[in-house]
Amino acid sequence: MNQVRVRFAPSPTGYLHIGGVRTALFNWLFARHEKGVFILRIEDTDRARSTPEAIQAILDGMKWVGLGWDEGPIYQTDCLAIYKEQADRLLAEGKAYLCYCTEEELDARRKEALARKELPKYDGRCRRRSGAAPAGVSPVTRFVSPQDGQTIVHDLIKGDVTFDNAQLDDLVIVRSNGVPTYNFGVVVDDARMAITHVIRGDDHLNNTPRQILLYRALGYEPPQFGHLSMILGMDKVKLSKRHGATSVLEYQEAGYLPEALTNYLVRLGWSHGDQEVFSSQEMIEKFSLENITRSPAAFNPEKLLWLNGHYLKTGDTKRVAELLLPFLRKRGVLDGGAQPDSAWLEKLVVALRERAQTLVEMADKAAPFFQESVIMDQEAAKKFLTAAVRPAFARLVAVLEQTSVFEHDALEQGFKSVLAETGLSMGKLAQPVRVALTGTTVSPGIFDVMALLGRERTLARLKKAIDLMG
RNA sequence: GGUCCCAUCGUCUAGCUUGGCCUAGGACGGUGCCCUCUCAAGGCAUAAACACGGGUUCAAAUCCCGUUGGGACCA
């Protein structure tokens, strides 16, 4: 069998959305699994709606999620001459014709047909037109579509889907301004790029019979098709902006890890037994078109969050620490130019990652470790920084001043000696200390907090708390 | 309106091809318990589904037909 060649072909009319990423991911996985080629093609023939910003957003999004392409990006607007050439060929072979019907005429006829309860398709009258071309009308090019028989799509995911050719009309392949229509551009490109498998959303399933007919008319063997079901929102309606973030880059900004997003997305419509967590290597090894579900899937943000938390916990600490930096800066936790000690930052990540599901959350929780002095939660202070614990605090300060290594185990030992002396339980002392050190009632383990803060800040904060006790 | 697609716990899904191993499994979320210096994380347990109606068959989540519901495309 020939080498697999697949493509992802977004229109740059907006950001790269989640559904698009999943389509791209499945194509990419298939290509990698089959040791084939993954091509990126930008379908920018809709010039009114395509923007350079959108193109950039697509490229950035693809890079962020780690879907590298082997060929491209190829822009359709660079290929206009090729579509024209192919359309001219069809014209010359009598497989296409020029149509001079105006928008108004077509509209009127459509309404008439509807009134007669007939199919409102083009009646093909310009097919039979003879004589001179009407003046002042720039024609569109229409494809001569067979009116009998059936076209069967042997879909890799949906199975065989049969369409009556009588349903299809003579579709426009080139507009009056010379720009190819979507269906024509796709076919010409997929054919000349020797695409072997077209894996795309099932919103294109209905276009497929027309495309197969076009392939044949152009003298190409159609590729294999695989139509993926759509991703829906939790309310079972097609995923859109009102469901929250739908652009990949929004997920980046919200503190998600790309591997969490791809892992989440791969399980939306595909499975490998009961396995939920896949490294990208595993995905490539195990991916197959046979295990794709036919039914549409609802996007569940909570499961994505869980996976993100999982990857935050299990990911390489050095990498997580690096990824965290921009979030610390953005949250104003860290000054723009400041560069924290990397070993220390990794320790902070280890302490925080059990309790954060996103990098944004982690950056928030990191705040007390960067501030010179704590921002005290007044209610917590009132409740925990009472005169009753002052003697214990005083003892703790004395002990900590003597502690030679300011690290977890030594700190625990010192802390516990204070408990033994004062007769306080762990909880009775740890919670006030937590408030004194972080300003809040929630934090990593208290010994980790002290170690992370270091001797100086720990002692300063404890002393300040003693003052607050009045 | 026409054409096409889809239908298992709230959600993602396994099982459906080749009916019996399904008193329907896993995961997220929920609930409860354990662990515990807080919050998490973790562990254990638990509730929760074969859309409906007909067939076929000794036997159907699995095969067939219909209904209903959802979605897409075209208009």
ipTM, two decimals, is: 0.92
Q: A21, A248 in Cβ contact below 8 A?
A: yes
The CA distance from A200 to A225, in Å, is 8
Report residues 320-349 of A contacting strand B, contact meaning Cβ closer than 7 Å. Answer: none
Nucleotide nearest to A304 (CA to C1'): B28
pLDDT of residue A148: 85
Q: Are strands A297-298 and A231-232 parallel, antiparallel or unpaired?
A: parallel
Model confidence over A29-82: pLDDT tens digits? 999 999 999 999 999 888 778 889 999 999 999 999 999 999 979 999 898 899
pLDDT of residue A362: 96
A1 pLDDT more than 60: no
Band of pLDDT at residue A242, cut at 50, 70 and 90? low
Report residues 217-236 of A contacting strand B, contact meaning Cβ closer than 7 Å. Answer: 229-230, 232, 234, 236
DSSP A75: E
The CA distance from A196 to A204, in Å, is 17
Q: How far is the CA of A240 from the C1' of B70 (A)?
A: 17
Nearest to A147 by CA among A119, A173, A175: A119
The CA distance from A24 to A51, in Å, is 20
A88 pLDDT more than 80: yes
Beta bridge partners of A174: A141, A180
Those nucleotides of strand B lying less than 7 Å from any protein Cβ are: 1-8, 10-15, 25-29, 36-42, 70-75
Cβ burial of A105 (10 Å; 0-12, 13-18, 19+) is exposed
Three-point CA angle A425, A426, A431, nearest 5°:
115
Which pTM does this prediction carry?
Answer: 0.90
Q: How far is the CA of A58 from the C1' of B17 (A)?
A: 38
pLDDT of residue A120: 67
The sign one gets for the Cα dihedral A364, A369, A372, A373 is positive
Q: How far is the CA of A275 from the C1' of B49 (A)?
A: 20
The CA distance from A314 to A447, in Å, is 22
Check if residue A426 sits with its Cβ under 7 angstroms from strand B: yes
* Greater model confidence, A59 or A371: A59
Band of pLDDT at residue A165, cut at 50, 70 and 90? confident
Band of pLDDT at residue A21, cut at 50, 70 and 90? very high
Q: How far is the CA of A324 from the C1' of B40 (A)?
A: 19
Instruction: Pick the catalytic residue from A241, A303, A382, A383.
Output: A241
One-letter amino acid of A129: R
Model confidence over A431-443: pLDDT tens digits? 999 999 999 999 9
**Is residue A158 annotated as a catalytic residue, yes or no?**
no
C-alpha pair distances (Å), A37 with each of A20, A337, A387: 18, 42, 71
Q: A180, A174 in Cβ contact below 8 A?
A: yes
Across A313-337, average pLDDT = 90
Nearest to A232 by CA among A294, A292, A299, A295: A299
Check if residue A24 sits with its Cβ under 7 angstroms from strand B: no
Q: What single string gives the DSSP state of each residue in A278-336?
A: --HHHHHHH--GGGB-SS-EE--HHHHHHHHHHHHHHS-HHHHHHHHHHHHHHTTSS-T
A132 pLDDT more than 70: no
Q: How far is the CA of A190 from the C1' of B75 (A)?
A: 28
Q: With DSSP H G I counted as helix, E B as strand and the rest as coil, what are the percentages for chain A, rounded to 5?
A: 55, 10, 35
pLDDT of residue A117: 64
Q: A228, A155 in Cβ contact below 8 A?
A: no
Model confidence over A271-324: pLDDT tens digits? 999 999 999 999 999 999 999 999 999 999 999 999 999 999 999 999 999 999
C-alpha pair distances (Å), A70 with each of A28, A88, A412, A457: 10, 31, 54, 52
Nearest to A450 by CA among A406, A420, A419: A406
Check if residue A309 sits with its Cβ under 7 angstroms from strand B: yes
Tokens of A180: 């190819």
Nucleotide nearest to A153 (CA to C1'): B4
Report CA Rg, chain A. 32
Report residues 365-424 of A contacting strand B, contact meaning Cβ closer than 7 Å. Answer: none
Report residues 135-164 of A contacting strand B, contact meaning Cβ closer than 7 Å. Answer: 158-159, 161-164
Beta bridge partners of A99: A140
